Chain A
């Protein structure tokens, strides 16, 4: 077992560190407060080939694995939570095309997603279908050489700014998940409009928009994988997505921890730095330990994925544990800061608001526990 990255991978991580330190972190707070998509940060990521990491060289990628993809995502979230979240949401579109697309689809859609020329988004969630994918009500009907989509998706990350969308619709709602079909939909296709952008507790600069399909015409060649097999596409995508959420949670938790340990050594009360009080020391020890454990979980999930082995259980564990970790760690980071931690003068209050979403998005903690226990019982069936 070797925990070190290769020389090339380390060089990439050093470059991302530099990008984050010099270009992303100085604007992270302003980006979140303005609440607008971070165009400049994404342009810098494009120039750095950040979106090319786990894609085959044939499609313009760098041919690395999801372990490195995760490590880069952690750094992006560490320096700028918004940039990290765009990076994560982008993969939810890039990955299904990588994994399930035809060569023609990869040529047309994966290549620009890999250069970052196009941003991607994934649309599964609806008002009555989130965790329960079988209840998707967006309909797809075959008419000639086109599918006609009707319905509404909500909360779609990168919605509106993305050029390419992987959309899950149902060919036959009576069949439940067996009617689900994945489509590649382009911004600007007739009948595809954007609705409202949600105002949220955190993640202010990440767009979460409604996607409205009204007799939206999608060519048959834009079916991803096979008609009626959209559930498989969705589950495959969410598996990688869970690694992505764990990655983002670890990056954010590390940022909160670093802020806390710095402040604890600056703030003086009762004649000593508060870092000298055991009450603070024990908090710091717990925070760092939980972050380390979360990181190891996402790394193992990504490593399993890179080996072509089943990774879903560990990915769910990583998502569950790291999202609960980031909630605890950011809350404790505010606690270490005391009163100023609650003000907008320090970033930790924003970290705490951002943290909560990790326990909800892409399968709540409850759903993750359900997935993990189902898999455990299947493995240990008597």
Chain B
């Protein structure tokens, strides 16, 4: 079974700072990590290959320093790593990113499954996984929490707001993973050292036959007008006194507002 995992390197914080001039995220001085949902995708892929054999190829689009995320993925058990990096990819929106990644996947070829995290921790759009599947013309199943495969089709359990949904899809299929799907492994020191010695291929736009007009700023119809941290203008209410009395007061208030 050959699996491709698409990952993204993101800043290690949920409180990212925004540059008010450019409306973009300030990345300087913030340590980078693998997008947490992508770790679930890697874990799922590695587990399947441990069970059925085959190989896991991990892919990321990003600047040269994104290599660190790929090395971490290699330490977690991925077999090969490809960094897709080109100046013309800068400022790609989700459409352009999907274009670059789907071209990369086409170039790798011979895949049975593609795993992604359900969304990136920084942008939170959840648009790239469906975008890749659309551009490749293969089925997609998003928000997967569980999975069974039989070589021809995948049976996927999806985590929806109030329910689970079980769907089947013909392979190759793209699956985006939620946090509850598994518990990503913490690579040991030996695996980390071995990963440092593995090759990380670097592909540019020519390697994946990407046309510049579909990449980066030119290939991105999305325009970010403004990015801001929402102001919290709802004042909390504080109940003080004995815990039991406070509990009664809280319940009365909730009943009064017909919340319970």
Q: Which residues of A contact B (CB under 8 A)?
A: 8, 11-12, 15, 18-19, 44, 47-50, 52-53, 62
Contact, CB under 8 Å: A52 / B192: no
A263 to chain B, nearest CB (A): 24
A50 partner residues in chain B, CB cutoff 8 A: 189
Contact, CB under 8 Å: B186 / A8: no
Question: Is B87 in the interface zone, CB < 8 Å from A?
Answer: no
Contact, CB under 8 Å: A62 / B186: no
Determine the main DSSP class of B at the interface with A: helix
B185 partner residues in chain A, CB cutoff 8 A: 47
Chain B: number of interface residues, binned into ranges: under 10
Q: Measured between alpha carbons, how far is A62 from B185 in the docked complex, in Å?
A: 20
Contact, CB under 8 Å: B190 / A52: yes
B247 to chain A, nearest CB (A): 23
B212-226 Cβ-contact flags toward A at 8 Å (1 or 0): 000000000000000
B190 partner residues in chain A, CB cutoff 8 A: 49, 52, 62
B158-192 Cβ-contact flags toward A at 8 Å (1 or 0): 00000000000000000000000000011011101
Contact, CB under 8 Å: A19 / B186: yes
Contact, CB under 8 Å: A8 / B188: no
A14 to chain B, nearest CB (A): 10
B186 partner residues in chain A, CB cutoff 8 A: 18-19, 44, 47-48
A124 to chain B, nearest CB (A): 30
Which residue of A is nearest B71, CB measured? A11
Given A8-B196, A15-B189, output 15 extra A-B contacts at Cβ < 8 Å: A11-B192, A15-B192, A18-B186, A19-B186, A44-B186, A47-B188, A48-B186, A48-B188, A48-B189, A49-B190, A50-B189, A52-B189, A52-B190, A62-B189, A62-B190
B192 partner residues in chain A, CB cutoff 8 A: 11-12, 15
Q: Measured between alpha carbons, how far is A319 from B21 in the docked complex, in Å?
A: 55
Q: Measured between alpha carbons, how far is A8 from B192 in the docked complex, in Å?
A: 9
B4 to chain A, nearest CB (A): 26
Which residue of A is nearest B195, CB measured? A11
Q: Measured between alpha carbons, how far is A44 from B187 in the docked complex, in Å?
A: 10
Give 6 CB contacts A-B under 8 Å: A12-B189, A15-B189, A15-B192, A18-B186, A52-B189, A62-B189
Q: Measured between alpha carbons, how far is A94 from B196 in the docked complex, in Å?
A: 28
A15 partner residues in chain B, CB cutoff 8 A: 189, 192
Most buried by B among A15, A44, A53: A15
A18 partner residues in chain B, CB cutoff 8 A: 186
Q: Measured between alpha carbons, how far is A15 from B75 in the docked complex, in Å?
A: 12
Most buried by A among B186, B188, B189, B193: B189
Q: Which of A19, A44, A62 contacts B193 (CB 8 A)?
A: A62
Q: Measured between alpha carbons, how far is A39 from B190 in the docked complex, in Å?
A: 22
A49 partner residues in chain B, CB cutoff 8 A: 188-190
Q: Measured between alpha carbons, how far is A44 from B185 in the docked complex, in Å?
A: 11
Q: Which 3 A-B pairs have the closest CB atoms?
A: A49-B188, A49-B189, A49-B190
B188 partner residues in chain A, CB cutoff 8 A: 47-49
Most buried by B among A12, A18, A19, A49: A49
Q: Measured between alpha carbons, how far is A11 from B189 in the docked complex, in Å?
A: 9
A48 partner residues in chain B, CB cutoff 8 A: 186, 188-189
B155 to chain A, nearest CB (A): 30
Which residue of A is nearest B193, CB measured? A8
Which residue of B is nearest A12, CB measured? B189
Which residue of B is nearest A45, CB measured? B188
Which residue of B is nearest A53, CB measured? B189
B186-212 Cβ-contact flags toward A at 8 Å (1 or 0): 101110110010000000000000000
Q: Measured between alpha carbons, how far is A19 from B185 in the docked complex, in Å?
A: 12
A63 to chain B, nearest CB (A): 10
Which residue of B is nearest A19, CB measured? B186
Q: Measured between alpha carbons, how far is A47 from B188 in the docked complex, in Å?
A: 6
A135 to chain B, nearest CB (A): 41
Q: Measured between alpha carbons, how far is A46 from B93 in the docked complex, in Å?
A: 42
Which residue of A is nearest B189, CB measured? A49
B196 partner residues in chain A, CB cutoff 8 A: 8, 11
B223-238 Cβ-contact flags toward A at 8 Å (1 or 0): 0000000000000000
Q: Measured between alpha carbons, how far is A8 from B193 in the docked complex, in Å?
A: 7
Q: Measured between alpha carbons, how far is A8 from B71 in the docked complex, in Å?
A: 13
B193 partner residues in chain A, CB cutoff 8 A: 8, 11, 62
